[in-house]
Copies of this chain bind each other. A is one copy, B any other.
Amino acid sequence: MPKPDENRERKMLDGSETVELLVCIKCRGDALPDDEGERPGAVLHRRLAEEGVEGVRITPVECLSNCTRGCTVALRGPGRWTYVYGAFEGEGDLSPLREGALRYRDAADGLVPWRERPEHFRKNCIARIPPL
C-alpha cells in the first residue's frame, strides 16, 4: 500500500495532471450590469491562477453560458465526466472550490462520491457530461 505522497506521484505521472479547471472570466455573479472594474469571474480566475491547484490546469474561458448562476467553473479531463458548478463569488472563500477540484483530480473517472463533495458542489451542480 503506497503512502499518500507516493500515490500522488504515481497519479501525476500517469496523466491526471491533465485535469482542467475552466473558469468563466465574464461572470458577473451578483454584480450589476453597469458595475465597473474587474468582473467577479475574472477575480476568481486571477486568484486561482495565483495560488494554483496542485495537478490541475487552470484555464480562463469567455462564457460558460451559465450567466444566471455565476460565477461558473467546469472540471474536466480525458476519460472523465465533465462537471459544471455555479454560484461562486470572485472574492469568496476559495477552499470549497479547491477541495472539490482536488477530489475530482483524485477520482480517475471524475465521479466523486456524493458525501465527499464539498457542500457548495452538492448544492450548485449545474450539469455534467459523460466522457467521450
Contact = CB atoms under 8 A, between A and B. Distances in A.
A22 interface: yes
A112 interface: no
A22 B125 CA distance: 18
Contacts of A76: 129, 132
Contacts of A130: 22, 61
Copies of this chain present in the complex amount to 2
Q: For the complex, would chain A's binding face be called helix, strand, loop or mixed by DSSP majority?
A: strand
Interface of A: 22, 61, 63-66, 72, 74, 76, 78, 82-84, 125-130, 132
30 contacts: A22-B129, A22-B130, A61-B130, A63-B128, A64-B127, A64-B128, A64-B129, A65-B83, A65-B125, A65-B126, A65-B127, A65-B128, A66-B126, A66-B127, A72-B127, A74-B127, A74-B129, A76-B129, A76-B132, A78-B132, A82-B82, A82-B129, A84-B84, A84-B126, A84-B127, A84-B129, A126-B126, A126-B127, A127-B127, A129-B129
